[in-house]
Amino acid sequence: MITGAVALYAIVLGAAMLAVRLAGDTTSVVWLVFVVAAAAVVAVTCLLFVPRIRHLRAAIAAARAMAGGRFDTRLPLADDEYGALASALNSAAQYAGATIYELAEQRAQLQALLNASSDATVAVDGRGRIVYLNEAAGSLFGAEMAPAIGRPFIEVVRDHDLNELVAAAGARGERSVLVVPVGPAQRWLQATAVPIERAGAWAALVVFHDLTEVRRLDSVRRDFISNVSHELRTPLAGIRAAAETLQEGALEDRPAAEQFLRHIQRETDRMTQLVEELLDLSRIESGAAPMTFAPLDAAALASETVRRFARQAERAGLHLTALPAGPVTLIGDAERLERALGNLVANAIKFTPQGGEITVSVHESGHDVAIAVADTGVGVEPEEQARVFERFYKSGRGRGAGGTGLGLAIVKHIALAHEGDVSLESRPGRGSTFTIRLPRR
């Protein structure tokens, strides 16, 4: 293009000089020739360069649009040397757009993966400032993602041991694992900090695995073994003592021998009850117990339970009644629900002083049926109410009253097997109300 313009300039100038030579050395003619030549040069320049300048400006505008992230920008293809430039820019925009889309897709997948994890994940930069945290981390430390970004790690987690762990990974490149209790609730966390190389602002990544439930279950397992051992040790010790006494000559004393034999029988019955309740609780909890679901009348179930325990309540000097109610139909296992309701009534009889009252009632509430056992007994202390449904747990009122400590645990798991629940409302010295809520279906 430039070569053609120079040639054109030479032709116009040569023509002008020839015209001057033919016209003679006249000043006006010279000026006229040069004006005509200049006008011709300007006209030719416009014809040659203006379209190309327009194409160049379009290419510059397209490049700036791509730099701003508009990768859908495309240039029209021309039949000149700028057509190759437009084609190259279009190809670059298409490739860059596909790459950016793929990176955004991968980022969204990584974000979804991290947020789907129940483990808290936090990334920090080389100065120990948070550059990323997932939803689990925000929930664990009570921080939202946007306000937490850019803040020092120690300000968010408020734990110096964890902060030292992160500093070792981010600043010194050390991988380490630490198990610590965190926060007022003392949640046990296993923190794993790893350094990250060539990851931009991400200098270290910390993953927190919540071990609180694992430690609780381990504590429950230890307590279970301890409680079973204790519950079996007492009757076994009594049986052994009675047997040794009989061996030492008490067999000759018939009244004493009969007394010791009755003691052995009571302790044997106690162990048998313990083993049966343990097996029953295990089957219900694991879902291995055969459950027979059928329509039943909850009001009739309550009345039948009151009838079965009427003599026992009478001997204890208690007034046991069932509030009158019409038929209340639900779908459930009648035998299991009778067992659960019987456990609640027996518990109420055990902890209600003479002259007290026990009431069994049935109420409908929307799609649920509530079966409640209320007593005027000694009640349960507030700090113990959350634990009364644990296996072998005995509140202060029940530690000297005998029993295996499994009755309420069985009630709880029978309710859960029916997709329901059981709750307690109690005021020490004023009585307790245990309520089993079951869906009508």
Q: What is the pLDDT of residues 276-334, one digit of tens each?
A: 777 777 777 766 667 788 999 999 999 999 999 999 999 999 999 998 778 888 999 99
Binned at pLDDT 50, 70 and 90, residue 104 comes out as confident
CATH number for the domain formed by residue range(s) 294-439: 3.30.565.10
Q: What angle do CA 423, 426, 431 make, to 5 degrees?
A: 125
Q: Is the model's pLDDT at 344 over the cut of 70?
A: yes
Highest mean pLDDT, choosing among 175-184, 228-237, 320-329 = 320-329
Give the pLDDT mean for 339-361: 92
Q: Mean pLDDT, to the nearest integer, of 210-220?
A: 82
Report which of residues 109 and 438 the model is more confident about.
438
The predicted model gives 169-191 an average pLDDT of 79
Is pLDDT at 49 greater than 70 in this prediction? no
Q: What is the CATH number that goes with domain 215-286? A: 1.10.287.130
Lowest mean pLDDT among 225-229, 246-250, 420-424: 225-229
Task: Pick the most confident of 17-31, 79-93, 182-196, 359-373.
Answer: 359-373
**Amino acid, res. 371:** I
Please choose, from the candidates 216, 271, 286, 282, the residue with its C-alpha nearest in 3D space to the C-alpha of residue 238.
271
What average pLDDT does the segment 364-373 reach?
88
pLDDT above 50 for 345 = yes
Mean pLDDT, residues 387-400 = 68
Residue 265 pLDDT exceeds 70: yes
Handedness of CA 62, 63, 68, 73 (dihedral sign): positive
Distances (CA, A) of 310 to 304, 321, 324, 327, 379: 10, 8, 16, 21, 22
What pLDDT shows up at residue 30?
A: 54
Pairing of strands 204-210, 187-195: antiparallel
Query: What SS3 state is found at 377?
Result: coil
Q: Which residues pair with 192 in a beta bridge?
A: 177, 207
pLDDT value at residue 399:
46
Task: Give the Å distances, CA to CA, from 320 to 121, 306, 378.
Answer: 57, 7, 16
pTM attached to this predicted model: 0.52
Residue with tokens 């509030």: 323
Cβ(291)–Cβ(283) below 8 Å? no
- Counting residues of the chain whose pLDDT is more than 70, the rounded percentage is 80
| Confidence category of residue 400, pLDDT binned at 50, 70, 90 | very low
For range 25-38, the mean pLDDT: 56
**What's the confidence (pLDDT) of residue 360?**
94
Q: Which amino acid, 227?
A: N
First to last CA, the chain: 88
Going by CATH, does the domain composed of 118-210 fall within 3.30.70.20?
no
Listed range (163-167, 277-281, 318-322, 405-409) with the worst mean pLDDT: 277-281
Per-domain residue ranges of the chain: 2-99, 118-210, 215-286, 294-439
Over range 336-340, report the average pLDDT: 90
User: How many Cα atoms sit within 13 Å of 287 on the Cβ side?
Assistant: 2
Tell me what the pLDDT averaged over the chain comes to.
Answer: 79
Q: Tell me the range of 9-23, 161-175, 262-276, 357-371 where mean pLDDT is highest.
A: 357-371
